Amino acid sequence: MKTFQRLLIIILFIHYSCANEDVLENNSQQESLKTKTELNVASRQGLKPIGTGVMMQAFYWDVPAGGTWWETVEGKVAQWSNAGIDAIWLPPVSKAQNGALSMGYDPFDYYDFGQYNQMGSLETRFGSKAELESLISSAHNAQLSVIADIVINHNSGGDIEPNPYTGIPYYTDFNPLSGKFFRSSSDFHPNNVRNSDSGVFGGFPDLSHSQPYVQDWLWKRSNSVAKYYKNVMGFDGWRFDYVKGFEPWVVKEWNKEVGGFSVGEYWDGNVNTLDWWATQAQSTAFDFACYYRMRDAFDGNNLNRLNDDMLWKRGGTKAVTFVTNHDTDEIYGGKMLAYAYILTHEGYPTIFYRDYEEWLSKERLNNLIWIHNNLAGGSTSILHVDNDEYVARRNGYNNNGLVVYINNSNSWQERWVETNWSSTRIKDFTGHSNWEPVTQAGKWVKIQAPPKSYTVWSPK
């Protein structure tokens, strides 16, 4: 049973909400909010277009607690931008059930960015609202877009209440201190509209996107989660968590309402399923088919797997490619070869924070980012694949294109390949080979690659 004090607080918030709807409808505050929105929009006019560079996943699982992470990331955005990053993907930014310990994937109050004392803490694990706003501003000043991790399949942290649809009490009574998006049993499955959707996660209350009230608060209202995050907080795009749990029309409608870049986490190695979801949601998707094939190829020492189908091969604009992320968090010997693959091929590549800042060579990754941004244009032609060697050509689009040679064997390898260039001197832009051969009139040339490494060739 709730205490009298808790009831009083809730009654006051409900009364305030009913009387004023919310701060956007309060005339005295609407002008300052409008000004802030205009400043955010203006500050974003000079951003690099998302997809022209490389995305940085700016966190990993269990980053240091204590409210310092936003400051840590803010200290790196200028350096990342100079290296060729065009967007940063942040973890879920709102207060979750586990308060200062949570990584954000158990959301409670979508509008508490570390300014309300609830769920046992004032700040989130990552910091305060002011520190988040400072980070977003610094990222924009560095021409970087900021991607919000959106968790809308499930909620956590509600109080227990009777459930008229199941007859069993459950934790579906949500009374956030922000005063926005109160929820009750009818906003979760089962309810009077639907018994279930595509899936539940971890036993958490499963949010019902078929309820008009839920749609209003997630993306339709003037101060919906989507519009508040974009227009007030300054986010530029969306990473949708666990989209297996709800139908793709939800992402489609969200994007239609607010726009911005979006990518869905549909964790499935079946390229047909990924292609279906991306088409239905009208969004990009993480290329898990590519992830699994690369793991087989570079960790399992079988480059023939790179011949298999992947989402980027269905269309580069559908696929966000990655080598590892906060859920997989892997270290293996062929990881640099995997980055050489995604940073020379189609799709929008993502770099994992720990790979860049801790585990791999930042110099080598910066070199591959430069190659991606300056040479890796046009369609892809696979020139040769066997167990140890992989050679592919990017055919160029407003640039010269390239030839990438990945060698997973234990010795130097050489191979004749057909390039884009006739009678042209080329060089390896990675610095792994000092050859500078001249292509024949028929565009053929011999190139080489060192053991367990790669080279990338283009006109000198």
- 376-392: pLDDT as tens digits: 999 999 999 999 999 99
Burial of 1 (0-12, 13-18, 19+ CB in 10 A): exposed
The DSSP symbol for 162 reads -
Q: How far apart are CA 32 and CA 38, in angstroms?
A: 10
Q: Which residues, 6 or more positions from 54, have their beta carbon under 8 angstroms from its beta carbon?
A: 84, 85, 86, 343, 348, 349, 350, 351, 369, 372, 373
Q: Tens of pLDDT along 77-133?
A: 999 999 999 999 999 999 999 999 999 999 999 999 999 999 999 999 999 999 999
**Strand partners of residue 445:** 417
**Is the model's pLDDT at 12 over the cut of 90?**
no
The percent of residues above 70 in pLDDT, for the chain, comes to: 91
Q: Give the strand pairing for 380-385 and 85-89.
A: unpaired
H/E segment holding residue 320: strand 319-322
DSSP per-residue string spanning 325-366 = -TTT----TTHHHHHHHHTTSSSEEEEEHHIIIIIS-HHHHH
The pLDDT of 434-445, averaged and rounded, is 98
Q: What is the pLDDT of residue 7?
A: 33
Q: Both tokens of residue 251?
A: 């992402």
Q: How many residues does the chain have?
A: 460
For residues 342 and 321, is the Cβ–Cβ distance under 8 A? yes
Which pairing describes strands 85-89 and 170-173: parallel, antiparallel, or unpaired?
unpaired
Q: Residue range 139-144: average pLDDT?
A: 98
pLDDT at position 438 is 98
CA dist., res. 13 & res. 233, Å (int): 22
- φ and ψ at residue 146, rounded to 5 degrees: -120, 120
Looking at residue 211, its pLDDT comes to: 98
Alpha-carbon distance 424 to 429, whole Å?
15
Instruction: Output the pLDDT for position 94.
Output: 98
Tokens 């980027």: give the residue.
312
- As given in the structure block, the two tokens for residue 441 are 């009139």
Task: Give per-residue pLDDT as tens, 203-262.
Answer: 999 999 999 999 999 999 999 999 999 999 999 999 999 999 999 999 999 999 999 999
Contact 142, 81 (CB under 8 A): yes
Counting beta carbons within 10 angstroms of the beta carbon of residue 115, is it exposed (0 to 12), middle (13 to 18) or buried (19 or more)? middle
Q: What is the pTM (predicted TM-score) of this model?
A: 0.90
Q: How far is CA 4 from CA 158, 188, 198, in A?
A: 18, 27, 39
pLDDT of residue 159: 98
- Quote the percentage of the chain above a pLDDT of 90: 88
**CA 265, 270, 271, 276 torsion: positive or negative?**
negative
- Give the containing element (helix H, strand E) for 28: helix 27-43
pLDDT at 21: 38
**What is the Cα–Cα distance from 404 to 93, expressed in whole angstroms?**
38
How far apart (Å, rounded) are the C-alpha atoms in residues 178 and 118? Answer: 10
Residue 369 has pLDDT above 50, yes or no: yes
The per-residue pLDDT for 374 is 97
SS3 category, 226 = helix
Mean pLDDT of 63-70: 98
What confidence category does residue 182 fall into, taking pLDDT thresholds of 50, 70 and 90? very high
The answer to whether residues 258 and 291 touch, using CB atoms and an 8 Å cutoff, is no
Q: Which residue has the tokens 């609830």?
A: 118
- CB atoms < 10 A from the CB of 12, how many? 11
Report phi then psi at 102, rounded to 5: -80, 145
Residue 15: the pLDDT is 36
Taking the C-alpha atoms of residue 125 and residue 174, their distance in angstroms, rounded to an integer, is 21
- Smallest CA-to-CA distance from 217 within 242, 250, 180, 262 is with 180
Dihedral sign from CA coordinates of 46, 50, 55, 58: positive
Q: How far apart are CA 236 and CA 241, in angstroms?
A: 16
301 band by pLDDT with thresholds 50, 70 and 90: confident
Higher pLDDT, 20 or 127: 127
Q: Which residue in 398, 397, 407 sits closest to 428, CA to CA?
A: 407
Is 60 exceeded by the pLDDT of residue 34? no
Evaluate whether 248 touches 277 at the Cβ level (below 8 Å): yes
Which residues are CB-contacts of 29 (< 8 A; sequence separation ≥ 6)? 23
Residue 365's pLDDT is what? Answer: 98
Angstrom distance (rounded) from CA 269 to CA 292: 7
> What's the mean pLDDT in 353-361?
98
Tell me the C-alpha distance between 280 and 457, whole Å. 38
Inform me whether the pLDDT recorded for 455 exceeds 90.
yes
Query: In the chain, what are the domains?
Result: 4-265 (3.20.20.80), 382-459 (2.60.40.1180)
- Give pLDDT, residue 398: 84
Q: What's the half-sphere exposure (Cβ side, CA atoms, 13 Å) at 99?
A: 10
Average pLDDT over residues 15-20: 36
